[in-house]
A and B are shown apart, each in its own frame.
Chain A
Amino acid sequence: MSRSYSKSVSKGVDWLTVVLYTALVCIGILCIFMVEYNPATFTPSSFFQGTTNYSKQILFTGICIVVATFIILSDSKLYPAFANLMYVFGIILMLSVFVIGKNINGSKSWIPLGGGFNLQPAELCKIFTALALAKFLSQLNMDFSKLQSQVIAGVITLLPALISILQNETGLALVYMSFFIVMYREGLPGIILIIGFSFGALVVATLVVEKNTLAVILTLIAGLLVFVFRRQIFVRKRWNVLVLITSVWFVCVGIQRFAVPYIFNNVFECYQSQRIYSAVGKDYDCSQNKHALKSEAAGKSPGKPDDYNVRQSKIAIGSGGFLGKGFLKGTQTRGKYVPEQHTDFIFTSLGEAFGFVGSFIFLAIYFLLLFRIVLIAERQRSAFSRVYAYSVASILFFHIVVNVCMTVGLFPVIGIPLPLVSYGGSSLLTFTILIFILIRLDADRQMVLR
């Protein structure tokens, strides 16, 4: 009996995912070691003393192994059963931050656990949200083409995002946007994603192209559309097409001329505007920013924020060249030129030490993991597992893309970690749980879970 039980534990576990997971965690520890290595103070024992970041990360990894084992040993039915309850627990945990929270690096989103360790509930809440969304979308009488269910799904994902914004964790809030990929897979009209994408393109165009030129271009596009649809509009007298084109044109110009400048000058902090501007290679004038003016009036000179981070990060990655400078030989890393290199900018140490080849292999591992998860998602019998798997893939994808794009200067600097690699217990634990719940669910893929 016991033999068959132990067999059933490992049965169905997707070992490739486990291997990829292990590889990424190991690379992470290696990178943190590279960042912190100093030949003057280094001794082999510093791996286990718990004073350095890499030794702490090893400790976190140990905790994660324990948690992962528990998850593998647990029952799959547990997760759909407790999904809603856990979601509520997660929201309460996030709200509790406002009471017992601790301020780290300007964001009040941490719960002190003692012993120098802190927990970020917004991180953990990703798991709960994924489970809750899966639970909601896998209901028997679910019709996702109905607007009502789309709105409910939207609320489930956006509620933690809203709380995150209130905690001053804009980066984590943005991660919840990745759930729209899942919803798209489950039947959310594609037009919403297209509109979202177009909006993003318009904002970028606003920043890059000169104000009046862009207005002229938009007008020309509108005119062209009217010309293309002239038969429909004028011959068949379908005036609503004309009204649609005109109103879209009106909204676009409105966004471009008023909304974007207003948001940049009045909503965003000066440094945020600067980060977005520098991602498109421009310089933001802080004297227009309301927050900057306010703090200046209060007598505080915040100093001009610049793109130092991105510049140094690009230098580090760019100087790696084809094969890289070699393990522990990165000068940018040794000289600590890249700020936050052990957390958000961990990719730079890898890019510098191992060059294009190393970065390519590293990204390939991520890519393999993502595709493996999509494959896993598509082979599930139950909608719950499928939605959950897509959630995991989307969250991972969003994290990887935003983080790597940020380090190579394709995206504004947003403080979100590189999954499984960046230093940080909360982040590592969150992704471990996310992935191992998926592995647990996948092991029972023949079962229909509700």
Chain B
Amino acid sequence: MPVYNQSRSRIIQVIFILVFLLIILQLLNLQIFSTEYKLQAENNAVYRKVIYPDRGVVYDRHGKAILENTIMWDLMVTPSEIKGTDTTALCAILGIDTAGFHKRILTAIIKNSRYKPSIFEPLITDEVYARLNESMYKFPGFNIVERPVRSYPFHGAACVLGYLGEVDSNFLKRHAGEGYEQGDYAGMTGLERGYEKVLMGQRGVKRFIRDNKNRIQGAYNNGTYDTAAIAGRNLYSSMDIDLQLLAEKLLQHKIGSVVAINPKTGGILVMATAPSYDPTMLTGAQRRKNFGKLILDTARPLLNRAIKGQYPPGSTYKPLSALIALDEGIITPSYGYPCAGAYYSCGRPVKCTEHWQGHSKNLRTAIAYSCNSYFSNVFRMIVDNPAYHNPRIGYLHWKQYMNAFGYGIDLKTDLPGEDDGNIPDTSGYNRDFGGPRWNSCNIVTLGIGQDRMLATPLQIANAMCIIANKGYYYTPHFVDSIENETITDTQFVGKYRIKHVPLEHISDSSFNTVQLGMHDVAVFGTARAVKIDGIDICAKTGTAQNPHGKDHSLFVAFAPMQNPKIAICVVVENAGFGATWAAPIASLIMEKYFKDTLSAASVANVERISNADLIPPPIKQWYFKQDSIKLLKQSQKINPDAAPVFQNNLETTKPVQYDPEAEPNHKDNGDTSLIKNKQDLQKPEEKKNPKPKKP
């Protein structure tokens, strides 16, 4: 056998080996060193379906569900798979045009990439759902996904319950690793936000294998990686929905707030704010439109005034002043001050509503008749307390007391976004008076709850709880307990079960004196109209001056005196005396609370109050303007030829002198966050009607 060209055999073998090595190297590269292919294969073939659990239900104190779930549908689109979709038919069903269709597809691609499903039309109505469902076969790439949405059986307590919103990229960044995805809904305000973690439950994920035509081929890995959805847990709140609805009805056509707390537990019975909105507006298909409308409304219906509205407490502060003075030993219950209609000791007189001699002969009557002179004097005595030698130190002691009463501090209730109110620090006065040169006379109106003192209705109601309880309080809250409570839930409800005793040192006799004075208020004093059979009510009216318009009408009360079961604070903006509007509102709510039903006279009273329109004129003017602008736009749309005439008419006849920004319901208090917030809200409105501002 000739060994012919043997060396070439070796070369061929070497070539074989080299080429096979090359293939092995590429296999190493593909299968072991790069991870992208695993991911891509999963993107290709594994269809991840998120199973949304039902959110938790919120019950009121009688076990009525005030926040429930119902089913709605989202139309989802996967842009890479819409080839062959009957666009015209789809547009016809949804009532959009082709340009809009393409725009939405583009948005979906930008938002969520071409290969992932995005929401095309959220929360479609039943009718559209029915029409879509029967022709879904025409729309490859589209599918309908069930989504539980919130429902509000009582259409009330909007600001307390809050609303759900679609999460944005910022939210996702902040809550990375908590299982949120683009397109999810999460609680944005109110209890929905505060208890988001409890209410949301646990999302389930089901994985399916799909083929190249996007057809489901069965469970991925026999469902090994699937997780079951766990429903959100229910909340049992202290709210009384009947009282809440009554309060909301009474606040109709007004701007203001009602807060009622059970002093024994700190559970909030009522937290109404006005103007408000029907919470169902922010679910369903019209959600976006309604939200825009609400956020542009100058009366700010989305604002929860019970925790974010900051008002000078006015005379409702006086009982606190009395307690501080008694505890400091500055006055005794029998201390009197001769008032003849005003307090003259500080230059500019502080007016008092009562002129007759003897209305301030002792503490009880001074509280009953709300004597401004008396409490101006008491406040000065507290600040100028000889024990501290310096009004600044005396003032700081007073401030300590006030903070103990919950004024000027965050109460840490279970609604997010609570405001602190304001008990000014000495630094502010030092700045304004050019150093520590100010004295008790400069700040004397603090003694009647004015000056820079600001408090939220919740804080005012909470201070009433302290007086009612004679020194202690529980942090006001809504949620008493959580379904299947575990040890980890103490972060939510644990803090509401701690008894706070910041003012234990004030003697019971001091409290008794003040309570008797407040009882007198309701018997023969400023609020003698407030009467409920068989209940001893302790009350205090307040009429707070503010720079923006008519006085705010305030009223605080607790009842019964011996065994307090409710403490209430009512604020009606720009409504005049406390006794005129705020007091009857509180009275009706308390009557309903104690008697469960209202007497015939009271029912008539409810109608009378709820029909009273106390919206300040500038805001009405704003609404009027909004309507005319809308009208103008519509007219331009309908008939462009006739429009100029109409426009001229409108421009000349409009007596616009009001600055839409002059929002009389809000006292500008120098709180920067509030101002910033306000500007944000005002911006779109400024853009809309820049004209009226020029003249």
Residues of A in contact with B (beta carbons under 8 Å apart): 38-40, 181, 184-187, 312, 314-322, 329, 331-332, 334-337, 351-352, 355-356, 359-360, 363, 367, 370-371, 374, 377-378, 380-381, 383, 390, 397, 401, 404-405, 408-410
A317 to B210, CA, bound (A): 18
The answer to whether A322 and B12 touch across the interface, beta carbons within 8 angstroms, is no
B356 at the interface (CB under 8 A from A): no
The 3 closest A-B pairs by CB, nearest first: A318-B37, A319-B41, A331-B45
B8 at the interface (CB under 8 A from A): yes
Contacts of A401 in B (CB 8 A): 19, 23
Contacts of B335 in A (CB 8 A): none
Which residues of B from 37 to 66 have beta carbons under 8 Å from A? 37-38, 40-42, 44-46
Minimum distance in angstroms from A82 CB to a CB of chain B: 25
| Interface residue from A314, A315, A331, A360 paired with B46 (Cβ < 8 Å) | A331
The answer to whether A332 and B31 touch across the interface, beta carbons within 8 angstroms, is no
The answer to whether A404 and B23 touch across the interface, beta carbons within 8 angstroms, is yes
The answer to whether B211 and A335 touch across the interface, beta carbons within 8 angstroms, is yes
The answer to whether A351 and B31 touch across the interface, beta carbons within 8 angstroms, is yes
Q: Report the stretch among B147-155, B217-225, B488-496, B535-543 that lies at the interface.
A: B217-225
A76 to B27, CA, bound (A): 41
A187 to B24, CA, bound (A): 31
The answer to whether B211 and A334 touch across the interface, beta carbons within 8 angstroms, is yes
| Interface residue from A184, A186, A335 paired with B212 (Cβ < 8 Å) | A335
The answer to whether A335 and B5 touch across the interface, beta carbons within 8 angstroms, is no
B209 at the interface (CB under 8 A from A): yes
Contacts of A360 in B (CB 8 A): 24, 27
B28 at the interface (CB under 8 A from A): yes
The answer to whether A334 and B31 touch across the interface, beta carbons within 8 angstroms, is no
The answer to whether B209 and A319 touch across the interface, beta carbons within 8 angstroms, is no
Residue of A nearest to B38 (CB): A319
Most buried by B among A187, A331, A355, A377: A331
A312 to B1, CA, bound (A): 50
B30 at the interface (CB under 8 A from A): yes
Minimum distance in angstroms from B83 CB to a CB of chain A: 11
B26 at the interface (CB under 8 A from A): yes
A184 to B11, CA, bound (A): 10
A329 to B224, CA, bound (A): 13
The answer to whether B44 and A184 touch across the interface, beta carbons within 8 angstroms, is no
Minimum distance in angstroms from A378 CB to a CB of chain B: 6
Write 27 A-B pairs (CB below 8 A) sorted by A numbering.
A39-B218, A185-B5, A187-B5, A314-B30, A314-B37, A315-B41, A317-B37, A318-B30, A331-B42, A335-B44, A337-B44, A337-B212, A351-B27, A359-B27, A363-B24, A367-B20, A370-B16, A371-B16, A374-B12, A378-B9, A380-B1, A390-B12, A405-B23, A405-B26, A408-B26, A409-B26, A409-B30
The answer to whether A329 and B44 touch across the interface, beta carbons within 8 angstroms, is no
| Contact status of A322 and B24, CB under 8 A, knowing A332-B45, A335-B45 | no
| Contact status of A355 and B212, CB under 8 A, knowing A185-B5, A316-B41, A334-B217 | no
Minimum distance in angstroms from B182 CB to a CB of chain A: 24
Residues of B in contact with A (beta carbons under 8 Å apart): 1, 4-6, 8-9, 12-13, 15-16, 19-20, 22-24, 26-28, 30-32, 34, 36-38, 40-42, 44-46, 209-212, 217-218, 220-221
The answer to whether B41 and A331 touch across the interface, beta carbons within 8 angstroms, is yes
The answer to whether A410 and B26 touch across the interface, beta carbons within 8 angstroms, is yes
Minimum distance in angstroms from A396 CB to a CB of chain B: 10
Contacts of B23 in A (CB 8 A): 363, 401, 404-405, 408, 410
A356 to B31, CA, bound (A): 6
Contacts of A363 in B (CB 8 A): 20, 23-24
Residue of A nearest to B220 (CB): A331
Not counting A352-B41, A374-B12, a sample of 13 additional A-B residue pairs whose C-beta atoms are within 8 angstroms of each other reads A38-B217, A184-B12, A314-B30, A317-B37, A318-B37, A321-B31, A331-B46, A332-B41, A335-B44, A356-B28, A367-B20, A371-B13, A408-B30
A345 to B38, CA, bound (A): 18
Minimum distance in angstroms from A179 CB to a CB of chain B: 13
Minimum distance in angstroms from A242 CB to a CB of chain B: 31
Most buried by B among A39, A319, A404: A319
| Interface residue from B31, B34, B44, B220 paired with A359 (Cβ < 8 Å) | B31
Contacts of A404 in B (CB 8 A): 23
A38 to B12, CA, bound (A): 43
Contacts of B212 in A (CB 8 A): 335-337
Contacts of B37 in A (CB 8 A): 314-315, 317-319
A337 to B30, CA, bound (A): 17
The answer to whether A186 and B5 touch across the interface, beta carbons within 8 angstroms, is yes
The answer to whether B209 and A331 touch across the interface, beta carbons within 8 angstroms, is yes
Minimum distance in angstroms from B26 CB to a CB of chain A: 5
| Interface residue from A186, A319, A322 paired with B40 (Cβ < 8 Å) | A319
Contacts of A370 in B (CB 8 A): 16
Contacts of B13 in A (CB 8 A): 371, 374
The answer to whether A317 and B27 touch across the interface, beta carbons within 8 angstroms, is yes
Contacts of A315 in B (CB 8 A): 37, 40-41, 44
The answer to whether B38 and A321 touch across the interface, beta carbons within 8 angstroms, is yes
The answer to whether B46 and A318 touch across the interface, beta carbons within 8 angstroms, is no
The answer to whether A334 and B209 touch across the interface, beta carbons within 8 angstroms, is yes
The answer to whether B1 and A381 touch across the interface, beta carbons within 8 angstroms, is yes
Residue of B nearest to A360 (CB): B24
Minimum distance in angstroms from B563 CB to a CB of chain A: 69
| Interface residue from B1, B6, B22, B34 paired with A410 (Cβ < 8 Å) | B22
The answer to whether A318 and B45 touch across the interface, beta carbons within 8 angstroms, is no
A351 to B19, CA, bound (A): 18
A40 to B15, CA, bound (A): 46
The answer to whether A184 and B8 touch across the interface, beta carbons within 8 angstroms, is yes
Contacts of B6 in A (CB 8 A): 378
| Interface residue from A329, A335, A367, A381 paired with B210 (Cβ < 8 Å) | A335
A383 to B4, CA, bound (A): 10
The answer to whether B34 and A318 touch across the interface, beta carbons within 8 angstroms, is yes
Contacts of B9 in A (CB 8 A): 185, 374, 377-378
Contacts of A377 in B (CB 8 A): 9
Contacts of A186 in B (CB 8 A): 5
| Contact status of A181 and B12, CB under 8 A, knowing A318-B36, A319-B40 | yes
Minimum distance in angstroms from A109 CB to a CB of chain B: 27
Contacts of B45 in A (CB 8 A): 331-332, 334-335, 337
Most buried by B among A186, A337, A355, A390: A337
The answer to whether B32 and A367 touch across the interface, beta carbons within 8 angstroms, is no
The answer to whether B8 and A185 touch across the interface, beta carbons within 8 angstroms, is yes
Residue of A nearest to B26 (CB): A408
Contacts of A316 in B (CB 8 A): 41
Minimum distance in angstroms from B8 CB to a CB of chain A: 5
A316 to B45, CA, bound (A): 11
Residue of A nearest to B44 (CB): A337
A47 to B194, CA, bound (A): 62
Minimum distance in angstroms from A391 CB to a CB of chain B: 12
Contacts of A335 in B (CB 8 A): 44-45, 209-212, 217
A337 to B40, CA, bound (A): 12
Minimum distance in angstroms from A313 CB to a CB of chain B: 10
A408 to B28, CA, bound (A): 11
The answer to whether A185 and B27 touch across the interface, beta carbons within 8 angstroms, is no
Contacts of A38 in B (CB 8 A): 217
A186 to B2, CA, bound (A): 12
| Interface residue from A312, A321, A371 paired with B32 (Cβ < 8 Å) | A321
The answer to whether B31 and A317 touch across the interface, beta carbons within 8 angstroms, is yes
Contacts of B36 in A (CB 8 A): 318
Most buried by B among A39, A186, A314: A314
Minimum distance in angstroms from B672 CB to a CB of chain A: 55
Minimum distance in angstroms from A56 CB to a CB of chain B: 22
Contacts of A314 in B (CB 8 A): 30, 37
A163 to B59, CA, bound (A): 84
Residue of B nearest to A446 (CB): B1
A334 to B36, CA, bound (A): 20
A267 to B593, CA, bound (A): 93
Contacts of A187 in B (CB 8 A): 4-5
| Contact status of A367 and B5, CB under 8 A, knowing A39-B218, A334-B217 | no
A370 to B218, CA, bound (A): 41
